[in-house]
Chain A
Amino acid sequence: MTASIATNQTILVVGGGISGMTAALEAAECGKQVILVEKTPTLGGRTAQLYRYFPKMCHPTCGLEINLRRIKGNPNVKVMTMTEVTAVAGARGNYNVTLKVAPRYVNENCTACGDCGKAVTTEVADVFNYGQGKTGAKVKAAYLPHVMAYPQRYVIDPSIVGTPEGEAAKSACKYGAVDLGMKEETVQLNVGAVVWATGWRPFDANKIQPYGYDRYANVITSVEFERLADPHGPTGGKILRPSDGKEAKNVAFIQCAGSRDENYLRHCSRICCMATLKQTQYVREAFGDEGKSTVYYIDIRAIDRFEDFYAKVWQDKTVSFVKSKVARIAENAANGNPVLHGVDTEGYHRYATEHDLVVLAVGMEPEVKGVKLPDDIVLDSSSFIEGSKDGGMFGAGAAASPLDVNRAVQSATAASLKAIQVIHKSASTEAA
């Protein structure tokens, strides 16, 4: 299919995380036409996968809900999920964009009743719960990505299409919503400006050889730990370690896992110190005074007003700090405990300390790293998006720099304003 559904007065926002939603809404609420494309089946991005938000320790679903309500109520925003940009031609004020829309195999009739999910037995990795990693979480091959998913519509995994399982899902649906004949589509758009809000992904912990994420069951990543702490997560919110399902009361956090390291990511990911300080409070919440968190760090970077949060955690008797980047992890074969080896910078003492569970505070790497972007896009030395040379495309949020939600939203608002300026300029040139 090829259709032209936009004009050079339209703003395209790529990525439907908090930054993309914000950029889209800011422009739409100024009366601009916006198309918001998201690669996965739902809006929300990585923030939806967090248990709580620093610094206020509120639940991210709250902010997500507000934004979704704004999107639903605004006819200027058109949302396209399971969609990726494959090419951008043209220049500032007049781009021609090619989009690829993957089949969902479920149409608008879906009421999210869940009958198709009950009818199938095949399971696939639960991406929302980082099931490809240590949580090992699985979902049915006919699933809703998560409770807050938008659109509230099921997805059929391509692996069961053309199998009896696919047929079972189809016949279970009372609303004629399952359409196994859906095909990948290509869409052409004319837009005036593009905001890239493609976000981040956790650095691949397997690459940090001395930490043995690939070898030791009880070495997990910070994003996986968020899912363990969340009542909607695979353990129902219990902090249980992967090897034996035992409660992990003695947790080590390793900072700068992949970041600030010329061998991996050169940049400081900026949020992981705060993320760890926050996560020590998950341990406290779960086990009270019996919980024990140890933070191994180079420097704690709790920027500006977050310093208060750091000061509060510092007072917490269950949390201790070791100024040292852990050199390597071994495993106590008898009990599966990871053993951390290193040298403490405050006194140069050598340690070999055992913990129930190790959480690697992995760095943020741009989701578009390694992805073919339009030639005009300028990236920094860590592949974060700086913008386009012609001044018509902008980076926003974690795609532009490693940012927390608050700063990502500020960055998205700024990018949106710049996109609006491009549209205004091309409108006034045309009028003249």
Chain B
Amino acid sequence: MSDLNTQAVARYKNNFLKEVEERVEDGHWVKMCMQCGVCAGSCPLGPAWQHSPQKIFMMIRAGKREEVLGSDSMWMCTSCYNCIVRCPRKLPITHIMHGLANYAHRLDLAPKGQPTREIARLFWDNLVKTGRVNELKFSLAMYFKDGFAQGIKNAMAMQGIGLGLMKAKRLNPMEIVGGHKCKDIPGIHKMVAKAREIEDRRRGLA
């Protein structure tokens, strides 16, 4: 168990709803759900998931902590906003789903190797390193996330697109060595650390 998780379990005991309300972005909305089912029925990806937003919200109220934080449903949300537009109670469903994913990730309860989680992690690491997204390195990291052999296969499959992007000057092969960056990289790192500190304090994660 991660330290953060042990601390959270001790702090909230069996009151998972309270935990979500205090620590998940827009989590205080969960209690407003009237279980009408409109979001579940409106989500274009609904049939492909194990847990619709409606079900996730009920599971939170039922205290099903491990199932919720370990679910991969939140990671499947494409932010189409269909559910938000239709919800009769105006719950910011998309944001809650993302908030739950983020919280599960922080506690390291999110499913291992879940593709969206991995891509998000790669993207974040890539971005904070220099303060700029290095598209070439990001693409390569994505291709090779499942091992070297699979990476070569992926890179070959995407070759045409890559060459096209280069021709259109959207991808610079020179980025592989160093690449463009912000002037004050330590400054960026300090800023990100500060933001996290504030955020963690606000959510009681410090």
| B-binding residues in A (CB < 8 A) | 210, 256, 260-263, 298, 324-328, 341-345, 348, 350
Q: Give Cα A260–Cα B52 distance, bound, in whole angstroms.
A: 21
Interchain CB contact (< 8 A) of A327 among B35, B37, B90: B37
A298: nearest chain-B partner, CB-CB: B36
Cβ-based interface call for B151 (8 A): no
Q: A341: nearest residue on chain B (CB-CB)?
A: B41
Counting CB contacts under 8 A, is B46 at the interface? Answer: yes
Min CB–CB distance A347 → chain B (angstroms): 10
Contact of B37 among A260, A261, A263, A325 (CB under 8 A): A325
B46 contacts A343, CB within 8 Å?
yes
B88 near A262 with CB under 8 A, answer yes
CB of B27, distance to nearest CB on chain A (Å): 19
- Pair A342/B88 contact, Cβ less than 8 Å: no
A256 to B40: give the CA distance in the assembly, Å.
17
Interface residues of B (CB under 8 A from A): 34-38, 40-42, 46-47, 52, 54-55, 85-90
Given the complex of chains A and B, what is the CA–CA distance between A262 and B88 in angstroms? 5
| Chain A minimum-CB-distance residue to B51 | A348
Across the interface, name the chain B residue whose C-beta is closest to A210: B86
Q: How many A-B residue pairs have CB under 8 A?
A: 59
Give the residue among B37, B86, B90 with the most A Cβ atoms within 10 A: B37
| Interchain CB contact (< 8 A) of A328 among B34, B42, B52, B85 | B42
Report yes or no: A348 in contact with B38, Cβ–Cβ below 8 A.
Answer: no
Closest to B54 in A: A343
Q: Which 7 A-B pairs have the closest CB atoms?
A: A327-B41, A343-B40, A261-B88, A325-B36, A342-B41, A262-B90, A324-B37
Is A298 in contact with B86, judged by CB distance below 8 angstroms? Answer: no
- The interface residues of chain B lying within 8 Å CB-to-CB of A263 are 85-86, 88, 90
Query: How many whole Å from B170's CB to the nearest CB in chain A?
Result: 38
Determine the distance from Cα of A342 to Cα of B41 in the docked complex, in whole angstroms: 4
Contact A325 B38 (CB under 8 A): yes
**Least CB distance, B44 to chain A, in whole angstroms:** 11
In this complex, what residue of A is CB-closest to B55?
A348
- CB < 8 Å: which of B46, B52, B88 contacts A325? B88
CA distance A324 to B35 in the complex (A): 8
The residue of chain A having its C-beta at the shortest distance from the C-beta of B34 within the complex is A298
Question: A173 CA to B100 CA in the complex, in Å?
Answer: 76
A residues less than 8 Å from B34 (CB atoms): 260, 298
Interfacial chain A residues near B89, Cβ < 8 Å: 262
Inter-chain contacts of B85 with A (CB < 8 A): 263
Q: Are B54 and A327 in contact, with the CB atoms below 8 A?
A: no
14 extra A-B contacts, CB within 8 A, seeds A210-B42, A262-B88, A324-B41: A260-B34, A263-B86, A298-B36, A324-B36, A327-B86, A341-B41, A342-B38, A342-B40, A343-B37, A343-B41, A348-B40, A348-B52, A350-B41, A350-B47
Q: Shortest Cβ distance from B33 into chain A, in angstroms?
A: 11
- Bound-complex Cα distance A91 to B86 (A): 44
**A342 to B43 alpha-carbon distance, docked (Å):** 10
For the complex, give the distance between the alpha carbons of A294 and B42 in Å: 21
On whether the beta carbons of B52 and A326 are closer than 8 Å, the reply is no
In Å, the complex CA distance between A98 and B73 comes to 62
Write the chain A residue with the least CB distance to B88. A261
Which B residues are CB-close (under 8 A) to A210?
A: 42, 86
Chain B residues, CB < 8 A from A261: 88
Chain A residues whose CB sits within 8 angstroms of the CB of B55 once the complex forms? 348
* Cα distance A343–B86 in the bound complex, in angstroms: 14
Cα separation A344 to B46 with both chains bound (whole Å)? 13
Q: Given that A327-B41, A328-B41, A328-B42 are known contacts, is A345 also in contact with B90, CB under 8 Å in the complex? A: no
Report whether B88 and A260 are in contact in the complex, using a CB–CB cutoff of 8 Å. yes
Bound complex: CA A256 to CA B86 (Å)? 14
A contact residues around B87 at 8 Å (CB): 262
B37 touches A345 (CB 8 A): yes
24 pairs from A and B in contact (CB 8 Å cutoff): A256-B36, A262-B88, A262-B89, A262-B90, A263-B86, A263-B90, A324-B41, A325-B36, A325-B38, A325-B88, A327-B40, A327-B41, A328-B41, A342-B37, A342-B38, A342-B40, A342-B41, A343-B37, A343-B40, A344-B37, A345-B37, A348-B40, A348-B52, A350-B47
Q: How far is the CA of A342 from the CA of B42 in the complex (A)?
A: 7
Residues of A within 8 A of B38 (CB): 325, 327, 342
Distance from A184 Cβ to chain B, minimum over Cβ atoms (Å): 43
* B-chain residues with CB within 8 Å of residue A345 when the two chains form the complex: 35-37, 54
Residues on B with C-beta less than 8 A from A350 are: 40-41, 46-47
Which of the listed residues B34, B38, B86 has the most CB atoms from chain A within 10 Å of its own CB? B38
Q: How far is the CB of A51 from chain B (nearest CB, A)?
A: 29
Distance in angstroms between the alpha carbons of A209 and B40 in the assembled complex: 17
B47's nearest neighbour on chain A, judged by CB, is: A350
A351's closest neighbor in chain B, by CB? B41
Separation in Å of the A321 CB from the closest CB of chain B?
14
Complex CA distance for A261 and B36, rounded to whole angstroms: 11
What's the nearest-Cβ distance from chain A to residue B10, in Å?
Answer: 32
Contact A326 B41 (CB under 8 A): yes
Report the bound CA distance from A350 to B51 in whole Å. 12
Nearest Cβ in chain B — how far from A261, in angstroms?
4
Interchain CA distance A327-B37 in the complex, whole Å = 7
- Residues on B with C-beta less than 8 A from A341 are 41
Nearest-Cβ distance from residue A408 to partner chain B, whole angstroms = 26
CA distance A262 to B84 in the complex (A): 11
| A260 → B minimal CB distance (Å) | 6
